[in-house]
Amino acid sequence: MALLAMLSATAPTWSAPAPAVALPLVSPASGRCLDVKGNVDTPGTALDIWDCNDQVNQAFEFTSAGELRTMSGTRCVDTRDSQTAPGIPVIIWSCDGRSTQMWRQNSDGSVTSAQSGLCLDVNGAGTTNGTAVILWTCNGQSNQMWSKPIPPPGSGGSGPCDIYSEGGTPCVAAHSTVRALYGSYNGTLYQVRRSSDNATRDIGVLAPGGFANAAAQDSFCAGTSCVITAVYDQSGRGNDLWYQGSAQVPGSSQSSPAKATSESLTAGGTKAYSLYINPGNSYWRDGHLTGVPTGAAPEGAYMVTSGTHVNSGCCFDYGNSETTRKADAAGAMDAINFGTQCWFGGCAGSGPWVQADLEWGLYSGGSQSWNTNQRAFTSKFVTAMLKDNGTSRFALKGGNAQSGGLTTLWNGGLPSGYSPMKKQGAIVLGSGGDCCKPGGGANLSAGTFYEGAIVSGYPSDATDNAVQANVTAAGYR
């Protein structure tokens, strides 16, 4: 399970704080951070897990001496009374070089005590805030894994598409108006066009692997209005999404670009803008020749969206769609759907829900009947995931994009009549598949898009969890 590389650091001996960059350690089981309880800088304070918050009590660094330091490098992770038996609480203590203050971060993501060989463990595999961290016999479970989130802008590191690649399911399309989805990406994120003179400007990142340069948009659009005409593909395959109605999408006429300044947010501590979709906005790309899976090939996708800007119009989708832009057949689409439209009934609550638009139906599970695992996601930032193996099964997952893990909403058989899948390999964002030719519909939805990717292959659950941990560490606010 290649969740991360070891945190690199150079440091003097144990008697002085290490100068290395301190970063959070995220439990992929919950998406929460290793935390000094209550942010109390007192020897003996216990460690637990808590919502990631960028405070000093959640910043840890491995020193060259083997310590795991925190609280701005002034305290060392230790065990209660320097004991080494399974179940002993893990605490902070004054750094003094004792053997129970020596730790190793392993290639699988576990952190072991050099003295006892036991693992840092979230007690009882708990996932809630305040769950204690203890020593326990290493067992390879996710509550003993600690993944490094994305570092601050400009410091490099991994993004969601690096994680997918490590899991053997590389991104074939990667889109965001907020941040780079690869640790090394230093290109453009999206294009804006201003109304005063129809000039365009590409908006890039502040630094490689970092966040959007929103100031460039603000400067360019000052005194006039702007729209987002394209969201660029970061995968290198050229799967850029242009609004339907542009010259880059021939034959489309019933779509317009989204306003560029409808919603600003903070991510990574910096300002960014979302792609704020209203009815009549839609984006598209024919990617069947540039790596987007077709036919019964396995595929996965995720997006970060919002539970506060939704409607029941058809259809706020992101994913695989028809190259014909017609409702061709069951299985011709394989897109994440998020909204308050429930075609077949039985969706719990009033939504919005994470569903699968597989064409000829929005599915909250494997059939047109009640799915008892379905639930609404109403938080400001939502992670939505879909994956299918193309022949027999698919899975739906959702979670809060600010904290916590993923909820599996469905993991089972494809609906009747959808095996094998008949994917065509286009990409749609903000509408259904049969949009936006003259006489076409499916362009009545409202939704928000911050980031997302489509991958080749069927991602593992461990990869899904690592992507969610990366998303929650991005600091959406």
Contacts 24+ apart (CB under 8 A), 82-87: 84/113, 84/115, 84/116, 84/118, 84/135, 85/135, 86/118, 86/134, 86/135, 86/136, 86/137, 87/134, 87/135, 87/136
- CA dist list (Å): 243 to 255, 364, 411: 7, 28, 33
- Tell me, what amino acid is at 104? R
Contacts of residue 14, Cβ cutoff 8 Å, sequence gap at least 6 = 63, 65, 67, 76, 95, 96, 97, 101
DSSP H or E segment with residue 408 = strand 406-413
What is the rounded CA–CA span in Å between residue 115 and residue 200? 60
Choose the catalytic residue: 334, 434, 451, 464.
434
Would you say 52 and 473 are in contact if contact means Cβ atoms under 8 Å apart?
yes
Choose the catalytic residue: 322, 334, 357, 359.
359
Would you say 214 and 271 are in contact if contact means Cβ atoms under 8 Å apart?
yes
Is 359 catalytic? The answer is yes
Burial of 224: CB neighbours in 10 Å, binned 0-12, 13-18, 19+: exposed
What is the rounded CA–CA span in Å between residue 333 and residue 323? 10
Structure tokens at 359: 């064409």
10 SS3 class: coil
**Cα–chain-centroid distance for residue 383?**
6
What is the rounded CA–CA span in Å between residue 467 and residue 477? 18
DSSP per-residue codes, 57-96: GG-BEE-TTSBEEETTTTEEEEEGGG--STTPBEEEEE--
Q: Of 141, 384, 428, whose CA–CA distance to 292 is shortest?
A: 428
Burial of 369: CB neighbours in 10 Å, binned 0-12, 13-18, 19+: exposed
What is the rounded CA–CA span in Å between residue 465 and residue 83? 32
Would you say 360 and 397 are in contact if contact means Cβ atoms under 8 Å apart?
no
| HEC readout, 154-212 | CCCCCCHHHHHHHCCCCEEEEEECCECCCCCCCCEEEEEEECCCCCEEEEEECCCCCEE
**Cα–chain-centroid distance for residue 189?**
16
Give catalytic residues, as residue numbers: 359, 434
